[in-house]
Amino acid sequence: MSFPSERSPQDASGKPAGQTAKRGAAYVALGSNLGDRERSLFEALQLLNEHPAADVLRVSPVYETDPVGYTQQPAFLNMVAAVRTSLTPRELLRLLLDIERKLGRVRDVRWGPRTIDLDLLLYDDRRFEDDELTLPHPRMMERAFVLVPLRDVLHREHPLYNQVAELTADALRDGKEGIALWNTINWHNAFARFEN
């Protein structure tokens, strides 16, 4: 099942309509807690959107959250992007890992500090599991730092929307992970902000 976009292809990215073949709706979580956290999120979005087979359609607000798992580290900035893509889920995952590398991600402590973290949460309504990728993301329903921004951009027709919305309401009511609104990014007018 592929969900309709809420913008035309030309409006969404400036790329020519019909540039790529059949497209899927993917949702990508972004997080950063080292260096200029907001800039890292934006640069990751730019690199993702610059790929010829991916368009960033919508982005959530940016939330600041307490670290989970390994807690002796700075607070994170987290957000989620809705992406239209003709890449397969595996190809999209590899693109996300490549963007992490370009932005200096080092994997030395599990759940440790990072310049950027990109996770593929959902791809249409596909369910899939192998050694490289599990869809939906196996821990997303347990994490307020994923659920809250995901709810902001998840298409209402997605089969998981109601569950995500309910868990988000619970997380916000309970103050899970100290999640707090940090900033909003007007995605389609954001490029000038970080040009220098």
Residues carrying an active site annotation: 105, 114, 117, 119
Q: Compute how many other C-beta atoms are within 10 angstroms of the C-beta atom of residue 30.
A: 26
Across 6-18, b (16+ Cβ under 10 Å) vs e yields eeebeebbebeee
Query: What is the distance between the alpha carbons of residues 66 and 52, in angstroms, rounded to a whole number?
Result: 35
**CA-based torsion, 166, 130, 43, 33: positive or negative:** positive
- Using a 10 angstrom Cβ sphere, with 0-12 exposed, 13-18 middle and 19 or more buried, the burial of residue 191 is exposed
Tokens of 165: 């919305």
Query: What is the distance between the alpha carbons of residues 135 and 123, in angstroms, rounded to a whole number?
Result: 7
